Amino acid sequence: MLSFPHSFLSIVFTITSFLLLLPPSQAQLNSTFYSTTCPNVSNIVSTVIQQALQSDPRIGASLIRLHFHDCFVQGCDGSTLLDNKNGSIQSEKDAAPNTNSTRGFDVVDNIKTAVESSCPGVVSCADILALAAQSAVSLAGGPSWNVLLGRRDSLTANQAGANTSIPAPFEPLTNLTAKFSAVGLNVTDLVALSGAHTFGRAQCRLFINRLYNFSGSGGPDPTLNATYLATLRQICPQNGSGFVVANLDLTTPDTFDSNYFSNLQSNEGLLQSDQELFSSSGAPTVPIVNLFSSNQSAFFESFVQSIIKMGNISPLTGSNGEIRANCRRVNGS
């Protein structure tokens, strides 16, 4: 039988103990995180969203967008929800991709209030966004999935990061691919997550260049279906308000389905960033659009995998961050 000196065994024990004390990684997010501390959290989130949908059919799409914009900026940490605080917080809400655009913060507040009344101090705002995204998709006829949980909330916002990291609706495919790649998401993730534009609305100012003066040409985007162009010009006249909204999916605007991809095949994608997925000749996104258009189950399966993957971007876990009492501000402020 081999024997080891006491000093060697002490070193092994010390190293093992140190490894056990390392902070949990993102792999330790799990779907049963609140099973004993807040077992009804999913139902609470869904109930509040169902109530909000009665008066605001867009709210599901708005909530999933908050989760997306949160995860792309310093990870899925609820930073997108923080309001300005003089000297300490420059809100991401004032970044160019978010200002006068992101919405649904009042519904997040209502969810947080309902969750706090049932399980005070337990569920993070970052996890509320992940749960809200799932409920929004499911309630609109899309797939359901077990949301991985255990994120904690940031103590900071990153307005500069929001300005540079969030994909823009008028960016070419190369830029979109690079921004997804920067957070560990691939081309399939890009196409699947873009499929969230199967519901919701977009403001005229985000695509009006496609209608009248695309890339300085003095004419419309040549990839835009002529009939669809005429419809959009009625909604968004050249000198009209940039804040009027149009449906992202002209066929089933409030339903989560694969029609978004069929629309792209008909050159009826609303945003440049949508249509480029199909109209960029030879791009690796084109066959994926074709697959999802013809096979809704394949889209749903990929979407679930991709949104879970997105939800795993750099979460705060263990003792990092905090559980905010109010999603709009860090505790004690």
Q: How confident is the model at residue 4 (pLDDT cuts 50, 70, 90)?
A: very low
67 known ligand binder:
no
137 known ligand binder:
no
User: How far apart, in whole angstroms, are the C-alpha atoms of residue 263 and residue 105?
Assistant: 30
- Rounded to a whole number of angstroms, the distance between the first and last alpha carbons of the chain is 61
Q: Identify the pLDDT of residue 5.
A: 52
Q: What is the mean pLDDT of residues 111-123?
A: 98
User: How far apart, in whole angstroms, are the C-alpha atoms of residue 35 and residue 150?
Assistant: 11
109 known ligand binder:
no
Q: Identify the pLDDT of residue 269.
A: 98
Tell me what percent of the residues of the chain surpass a pLDDT of 90.
91
Quick: pLDDT tens for 216-226: 999 999 999 99
Q: Identify the pLDDT of residue 6.
A: 53
> Residue 296 pLDDT more than 90?
yes
Q: What is the mean pLDDT of residues 274-298?
A: 98
Q: How confident is the model at residue 95 (pLDDT cuts 50, 70, 90)?
A: very high
252 known ligand binder:
yes
Mean pLDDT of the chain: 93
> Residue 200 pLDDT more than 60?
yes
6 known ligand binder:
no
Q: What is the mean pLDDT of residues 127-152?
A: 98
Q: Identify the pLDDT of residue 233.
A: 98
Helix/strand/coil (H/E/C) assignment for every residue in the chain: CCCCCHHHHHHHHHHHHHHHHCCCCHHHCECCCCCCCCCCHHHHHHHHHHHHHHHCCCHHHHHHHHHHHHHCCCCCCCHHHCCCECCCECCHHHCCCCCCCCCCHHHHHHHHHHHHHHCCCCCCHHHHHHHHHHHHHHHCCCCCCCCCECCEECCCCCHHHHHHHCCCCCCCHHHHHHHHHHCCCCHHHHHHHHHHHHCCEEEHHHCHHHHHCHHHCCCCCCCCCHHHHHHHHHHCCCCCCCCCEEECCCCCCCCCCCHHHHHHHCCCCCCHHHHHHHHCCCCCHHHHHHHHHHCHHHHHHHHHHHHHHHHCCCCECCCCCECCCECCECCCC
Q: How confident is the model at residue 333 (pLDDT cuts 50, 70, 90)?
A: confident
Tell me what percent of the residues of the chain surpass a pLDDT of 70.
92
User: How far apart, in whole angstroms, are the C-alpha atoms of residue 329 and residue 325?
Assistant: 8
Answer yes or no: are the C-beta atoms of 180 and 189 closer than 8 Å.
yes
197 known ligand binder:
yes
198 known ligand binder:
yes
Region of poorest pLDDT, from 35-39, 83-87, 152-156, 180-184: 83-87
> Residue 283 pLDDT more than 50?
yes
User: How far apart, in whole angstroms, are the C-alpha atoms of residue 76 and residue 24?
Assistant: 15
Other Cβ atoms less than 10 A from the Cβ of 75: the count is 21
State the catalytic residues.
Answer: 69
83 known ligand binder:
no
The more confidently predicted of residues 12 and 242 is: 242
257 known ligand binder:
yes
Q: How confident is the model at residue 252 (pLDDT cuts 50, 70, 90)?
A: very high
Q: Identify the pLDDT of residue 28.
A: 83
